[in-house]
Amino acid sequence: MSMSRGSNGAERLVVIGGDAAGMSAASQARRLKGPDELEIVAFERGHFTSYSACGIPYWVGGDVSDRDELIARTPQEHRARDIDLRLRTEVTEIDVEKGGVRARDVDSGEESWTPYDKLVIATGARPIRPDLPGIDALGVHGVQTLDDGQDLLDTLTSARGRRAVVVGAGYIGVEMAEALINRGFEVTVVNRGREPMSTLDPDMGRLVHRAMEGLGITMVNDAEVTKLHMGEDGRVRAVATADAEYPADVVVLGIGVHPETALAKAAGLPLGEHGGLLTDLAMRVRGHENIWAGGDCVEVLDLVSGRERHIALGTHANKHGQIIGANVGGGYATFPGVVGTAVSKVCDLEIARTGLREKDARRAGLQFETVTIESTSRARYYPSASPMTVKMLAERRTGRLLGVQIVGREGAGKRVDIAAVALTAGMTVEQMTALDLGYAPPFSPVWDPVLVAARKAAAAVRNKTP
């Protein structure tokens, strides 16, 4: 064991990144060990800590009135718990051999060296910003940080027209489309894929497509942005694809994110095929006894395919933080992996998925049956029962559930949790047909939509089994 680096004989924990994973880890470690045992230094290059990046679209859209509502714990609150939090301080180097980090004060440029006994890397993700002509025009915004959100809101307020173009039709794209509609903009979504929501199979994405059009959103699929036109004032004017041009007073980039692992890479830490840090089940960086990593900068095990994936999602980051904090604090906890659950909405349309899409299953070498059913959120005769489409994939022969996708209105999204738990438990679709789910007419038809899908999937598996 290395000698203690902290003052007064305490060990020192250094945390890189002040959002969900990093500060959850710091808080949990602090809960388990007081300042006399563990000194905690946390570096954050921005102004904020522990905020909900997932909430930014709702703040931009006006559902959340104040930025501060998105902040779960302020710097002051962290400091009050004896966490030495250094804002606006960017870590520029990790020296794994010496056990220390070099950091730079963003404002003064001053550099410092901080040794650690234990290190937590929670550097998050970086939004993809394609290298296109005009990408730096005024009025072109990402929505990754609270600062991004404020910049976008300022643009919306000052925009001369009401035309918005969203580039990308994943979760961020569709959520921002809703936000912009709520702000009174005319919205065009330009999407590289065949259908929006590429986390769904295209047949389910097609339902999202239709619903978005029904909401007055112009959906342009199979379209790659080639250029952004800028006016003489430096503001964006239009988004160009190979085939067309879409006038724009504001452009929002919702293309996705990459793990932010430049530091980790330079330090020689192990990265996976998606560019994320690789950890063991206790969230320890592989091969490094005293370094942990979690949140948007790591890859996670997909329990269904058995492969590593990169998923940037606050709920995983919070879990990672808790687990890292427990381990750093002398306890024991592990993160078994994910099944790939995600929910989203655009206006009153709810979109959910868990497990494998058809192409994921094929890539994993699986053969499978797929079924799609229509049902309703409540008993058909109950007021406001709304239609819901459920697609289910089950493995051939074994009948093991592989994935579920749901598109519908109120009550559709969170039904995916049934499938998320069933996937985690390795259930077959035949087993699922007997699930004792909550039934009463205001909550579900007598056969819950997920059960209807399971019955059809089980029949498909049986019919293919000689």
Q: Of 64-72, 238-246, 357-365, 366-374, which part binds a copy of itself (CB under 8 A)?
A: 64-72
The verdict on 374 binding a copy of itself (CB under 8 A) reads no
Residue 20 or 240: the one with the smaller Cβ distance to a copy of itself is: 20
CB 146 within 8 A of CB 74: no
The verdict on 421 binding a copy of itself (CB under 8 A) reads yes
CB of 123 to a copy of itself, least distance (A): 19
Q: From CA 328, how far away is CA 333, in angstroms rounded?
A: 10
Residues 344-373 that bind a copy of itself (CB under 8 A): 344-345, 350, 352, 354
* Paired sense of beta strands 236-241 and 11-16, if any: unpaired
The single residue of 41, 54, 165, 240 carrying the catalytic annotation is 54
DSSP state of 263: H
The verdict on 437 binding a copy of itself (CB under 8 A) reads yes
The verdict on 379 binding a copy of itself (CB under 8 A) reads yes
Task: Identify the bridge partners of residue 89 per DSSP, sorted by sequence position.
Answer: 105
Q: Helix H segments across 189-299?
A: 202-214, 262-266
Q: How many amino acids of this chain bind a copy of itself (CB under 8 A)?
A: 67
Q: Which of 7, 76, 157, 336 binds a copy of itself (CB under 8 A)?
A: 336
Q: Which of 411, 452, 460, 461 binds a copy of itself (CB under 8 A)?
A: 411
DSSP states of 414-460 as a string? GGHHHHHHHHHTT-BHHHHTT------TTT--SS-HHHHHHHHHHHH
Residues 178-237 that bind a copy of itself (CB under 8 A): none
Residues constituting the chain: 466
Counting other chains too, the contacts that 72-75 makes at CB distance below 8 Å and 24 or more residues apart are 73/23, 73/27, 73/49, 74/49, 74/50, 75/18, 75/48, 75/49
DSSP states of 336-354 as a string? --B---EEEEETTEEEEEE
Q: Give me the 271-290 binding string for a copy of itself, x by CB under 8 A, dash otherwise.
A: --------------------
What is the end-to-end Cα distance of the chain in Å, rounded? Answer: 60
The verdict on 330 binding a copy of itself (CB under 8 A) reads no
Please indicate whether residue 54 is annotated as part of the active site.
yes
Given the rule CB under 8 A, which residues bind a copy of itself? Answer: 20, 52, 54-55, 58, 63-64, 69-70, 171, 175, 313-316, 318-319, 322, 334-336, 338-345, 350, 352, 354, 379-383, 411, 413-418, 420-422, 424-425, 427, 431, 433-444, 446-448, 455
